[in-house]
């Protein structure tokens, strides 16, 4: 029996694999919202049952937040770990969804079949590509090809508060030869990729308080400080006219791209016009002297993810608000120190406060950027396997998003992380109408079968 048999089995089993994914997508496991705690638990239970059905000894492991799903299977050859996350992003604004985000379905679209629903691409659909590859392998061979550990998280979309403590506590259990992480995308729509450069993430929520209560702007307007104005001034000051972040020391640890990587990226011929056009834009809006790929892969950023203050309902209310708050996040690169930046940011904000204003800070995650070596021969083996499955050869790329787990494997466990995923730029992850292409799902499963074969054949 050969890889070909496994690939055939994957093709035959695709309808059933899709049904299994739809079942998992129906569980609204939104980790950031306490109202969905039981649903996160249910998603973990679903995965525990599914993995145990594959012969992987799997348990739900408690944390102060949502549980980890950890499974082990003994076997020959290298010891591989697979990481994915079963939690999903919130779904608001709900009115922009074409259907219930948790009533997923397969849809035919002008660009092909898609699986529509929250979590289809991020990350339930992706994590199931690996599990389905294992299922097909087992169906054909009767057993899996190597020693495997599954490590599935339920707090990835809410800053992973339990992750580092759990990994430290269970370091021996989670240390493996290689950590496969499926939470990234293809490069362009059909070019497979191994992501070797990830931005870190620092999240900060700030709430500015002026008056002790909401005031009438007729009575107090002109004499009372307005916290929305204070917050606006702070946000406006976070970038200079060249688009650079003004937090003192922010660029410490940010290096220029090595020449070889710059050359490789130029070779990718990134179509930024199309990338922007997909979302109604046409102008790269980052630092004035940077290329589009640098802006999204190798340069740090500061974004406002949310802002609220005063009256925001229908109509008009002449209130002078007591409070205003914003969620602000920084994407980090190179060796930027998230904790030093947090401190500098907080000092900068505090220094800008006028009299009578106070500020409260709330941190939401702080992860360093990741830059991963590709010297381990497993990388070239996986790259070749991916290149066999897809029309174009696989590339080593950067990724603008943050996948802190990759750094944790490297730094806490000394395990090399390998990031392979099949998402596409138009998957609308974190947005309404998230989808995962059936091609991503199908060829994703086939890709993992090829990679398992490549990594265990050697």
CA 234: distance to chain centroid?
Answer: 28
Residue 205 as a binder of its own copies (CB under 8 A): the answer is yes
The CB-of-458 to its own copies minimum distance in angstroms stands at: 33
Q: Which of 29, 126, 428, 447 binds its own copies (CB under 8 A)?
A: 428
Helix (H) or strand (E) holding 272, with range, is helix 272-277
Residues 308 and 91: their CA atoms lie apart, in Å, by 18
List CB contacts of 50: < 8 A, sequence separation 6 or more: 20, 131
Cα separation, 3 vs 454, in Å, equals: 10
Query: Which residues on adjacent β-strands are paired with residue 239?
Result: 245
| DSSP state string for 202-268 | EEEEEEEE-SSS-EEHHHHBTTB--HHHHHHHHHHTTB-TTS-B-STTTTTT--PPPHHHHHHHHHT
Find, among 401, 452, 427, 410, the residue nearest to 131 by Cα. 452
Which region among 2-10, 186-194, 317-325, 383-391 touches its own copies (by CB under 8 A)? 317-325
| Cα 80 from Cα 180, distance rounded (Å) | 7
- Min CB(355)–its own copies separation in Å: 4
Q: Which is nearer to its own copies, 51 or 359 (CB)?
A: 359
Rounded CA-CA distance 306/304 in Å is 6
Q: Which is nearer to its own copies, 353 or 384 (CB)?
A: 353
* Residue 109 C-beta: closest distance to its own copies, Å: 16
Which of the ranges 7-15, 312-320, 373-381, 446-454 carries the binding residues for its own copies, by CB under 8 A?
A: 312-320
Question: Which span (54-62, 87-95, 139-147, 375-383) binds its own copies, by CB under 8 A?
Answer: 87-95
**Spatial distance between the Cα atoms of 261 and 397, rounded to a whole number of angstroms:** 9
One of 126, 158, 416, 447 touching its own copies (CB under 8 A): 158
- Contact partners, residue 304, CB within 8 Å, separation at least 6: 235, 326, 327, 328
Residue 170 burial (C-beta neighbours within 10 Å; 0-12, 13-18, 19+): middle
Least gap, CB of 233 to its own copies (angstroms)? 4
* Size of the residue set binding its own copies (CB under 8 A): 99
The CB-of-339 to its own copies minimum distance in angstroms stands at 17
- Which part of the chain contacts its own copies (CB under 8 A), choosing from 2-10, 136-144, 249-257, 325-333? 325-333
Give least dist CB 110 to its own copies, A: 18
Tokens 């240390």, residue located: 175
Q: Is residue 312 a contact residue for its own copies (CB under 8 A)?
A: yes
Among 89, 336, 367, 440, binds its own copies (CB under 8 A): 89
Whether the bond between 123 and the residue before it is cis, its omega within 30 degrees of 0, is yes
Q: Does 37 bind its own copies (CB under 8 A)?
A: no
Q: Is 217 among the residues that bind its own copies (CB under 8 A)?
A: yes
Query: CA–CA distance from 334 to each of 164, 331, 337, 401 (Å)?
Result: 20, 11, 9, 14
Output the smallest distance, CB 409 to its own copies, in A. 19
Task: Note whether 317 binds its own copies by CB under 8 A.
Answer: yes
- Would you say 233 or 457 has its CB closer to its own copies? 233
Tokens of 219: 């009575």
Binding mask of the shown chain, residues 225 to 244, with x at each position contacting its own copies by CB under 8 A: xx-xx-xxx-xxxxx-----
Q: Which is nearer to its own copies, 190 or 327 (CB)?
A: 327
Stretch that binds its own copies, among 39-47, 62-70, 78-86, 199-207 (CB under 8 A): 199-207
Site for its own copies in 253-292 (CB under 8 A): 272, 275-276, 279-287, 292
Part of the chain binding its own copies (CB under 8 A), chosen from 98-106, 188-196, 246-254, 316-324: 316-324
Residue 69 touching its own copies (CB under 8 A): no
What string marks each residue from 348 to 367 as x (binds its own copies by CB under 8 A) or -?
A: ------xxx-------xx--
215 is a contact residue toward its own copies (CB under 8 A): yes
Q: Is residue 313 at the binding interface for its own copies, with CB under 8 A as the rule?
A: yes
CB-nearer residue toward its own copies: 18 or 226: 226
d(CA 153, CA 44): 9
Report 97-156 residues binding its own copies (CB under 8 A).
none
Q: Residue 363 in contact with residue 204, Cβ under 8 Å? A: yes
């Amino acid at each position: 029996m050969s890889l070909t048999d496994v690939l055939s089995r994957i093709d035959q089993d695709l309808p059933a694999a899709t049904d299994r994914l739809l079942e998992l997508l129906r569980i609204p496991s939104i980790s950031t919202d306490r109202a969905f705690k039981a649903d996160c638990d249910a998603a973990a239970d679903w995965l525990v049952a599914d993995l145990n059905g594959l012969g992987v000894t799997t348990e739900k492991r408690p944390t102060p937040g949502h549980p980890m799903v950890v499974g082990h299977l003994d076997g020959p050859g290298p010891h591989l770990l697979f990481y994915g996350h079963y939690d999903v992003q919130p779904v608001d604004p709900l009115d922009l969804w074409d259907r219930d985000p948790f009533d997923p379905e397969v849809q035919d679209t002008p660009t092909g079949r898609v699986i529509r629903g929250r979590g289809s691409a991020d990350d339930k659909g992706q994590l199931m590509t690996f599990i389905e590859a294992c299922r097909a392998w087992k169906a054909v061979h009767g057993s899996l090809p190597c020693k495997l550990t599954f490590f599935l998280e339920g707090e990835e979309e809410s800053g992973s508060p339990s992750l580092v403590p759990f990994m430290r506590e269970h370091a021996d259990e989670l240390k493996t030869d290689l950590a496969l992480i499926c939470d990234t995308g293809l490069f362009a729509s059909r070019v497979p990729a191994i992501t070797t450069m990830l931005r870190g993430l620092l999240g900060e929520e700030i709430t500015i308080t002026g008056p002790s209560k909401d005031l009438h702007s007729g009575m107090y307007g002109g004499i009372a400080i307005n916290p929305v104005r204070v917050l606006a001034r702070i946000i406006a000051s976070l970038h200079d006219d060249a688009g650079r972040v003004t937090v003192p020391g922010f660029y410490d640890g940010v290096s220029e791209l090595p020449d070889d990587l710059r050359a490789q990226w130029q070779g990718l011929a990134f179509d930024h016009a199309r990338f922007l056009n997909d979302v109604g834009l046409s102008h790269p809006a980052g630092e004035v002297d940077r290329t589009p790929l640098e802006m999204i892969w190798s340069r740090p950023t500061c974004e406002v993810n949310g802002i609220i203050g005063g009256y925001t309902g229908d109509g008009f209310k002449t209130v002078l608000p007591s409070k205003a708050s914003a969620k602000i996040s920084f994407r980090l690169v190179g060796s930027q120190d998230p904790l030093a930046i947090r401190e500098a940011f907080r000092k900068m904000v505090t220094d800008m406060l006028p009299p009578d204003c106070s500020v409260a800070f709330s941190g939401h995650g702080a992860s360093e950027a990741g830059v991963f070596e590709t010297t381990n021969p497993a990388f070239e083996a996986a790259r070749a396997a991916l290149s066999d499955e897809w029309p174009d050869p696989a590339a080593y790329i950067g990724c603008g998003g943050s996948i802190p787990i990759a750094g944790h494997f490297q730094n806490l466990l000394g395990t090399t992380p390998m990031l392979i995923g099949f998402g596409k730029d138009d998957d609308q992850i974190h947005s309404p109408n998230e989808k995962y292409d059936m091609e991503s799902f199908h060829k994703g499963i086939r890709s993992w079968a090829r990679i398992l074969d490549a990594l265990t054949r050697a």
